[in-house]
Structure 1
């Protein structure tokens, strides 16, 4: 019985290596690395759009509104109560800018890319006379060799 426990003992070093090898083969596949790059670029792009909306677009809009303060303090008053709407308007505009850029990217750029890939995958050219004759000879030889 002591021999059975020795042969079935767990070796953490070999298990760790195989786990590491599995993780390495998973993590460094093209799709996972591409996804990671996409997430990082998307995060940076989100920060860029937020800055654009917060620091350029909304202050420009605020120049043409009734408020003397920044858009962050915009409020709607009704029956003696106020509802802050400025930050929400900024967030909605932020969303719309991101959605517009994504729409343009997906519809135009990826559409163009997919169209060019479809053009690359063309039907094979028709067989020449020589190729047709060789195909017929091959088929005849195959049919004669089979009982």
Structure 2
């Protein structure tokens, strides 16, 4: 069982996924900073210096951080928008790659007209039925 686990871990897909998770964590930190340091202050200009972090609903001793939730929703929307543009660009690049004309490969075999076997293109006699070929 340990051997199978080692094989699973050493597969390329698992390593690619691990790299993706690490990059996603770093990307999340960048997006959080973008929302907290740029987008929220811009929204505050239009909302007359309202700080989302101050938006709290109190129900007895419990406080609900509605402002923090709004910041997280904005972060999610920014991440979704960026991923949408990345995936769209990748799909466009993939479609452009597929439109290149494929070069036709030269034939290396031919079919014997007598026994219908596939033979080398330069053969003058069929190795299967020994017929002379033109």
So what's the TM-score if we normalise by structure 2?
0.65
Residues 1-147 of structure 1 aligned to structure 2 (within 5 Å): 19-66=1-48, 68-74=49-55, 85-113=66-94, 115-116=96-97, 118=98, 122=102, 124-127=104-107, 132=110, 134-135=120-121, 137=123, 140-144=126-130
> Structure 1 residues 53 and 139, CA, compared in 2 at 3 Å: closer, same or farther?
farther
Contact 1:71 1:87 in 2 (8 A): yes
More contact order relative to length (CA 8 Å, sep ≥ 6)? 1
- The size of the alignment, in residue pairs, is 117
Give structure 2 stretches of 5+ with no counterpart. 57-63, 111-118
Runs of 4 or more consecutive aligned structure 1 residues displaced over 4 Å after TM superposition: none
CA distance in 2, matches of 1:114, 1:24: 37
The alpha carbon displacement at 1:99 in A equals: 0.6
Give the number of the structure whose residues are more often helix, by fraction: 1
Contact 1:59 1:71 in 2 (8 A): no
RMSD, aligned α-carbons? 3.5
So what's the TM-score if we normalise by structure 1?
0.60
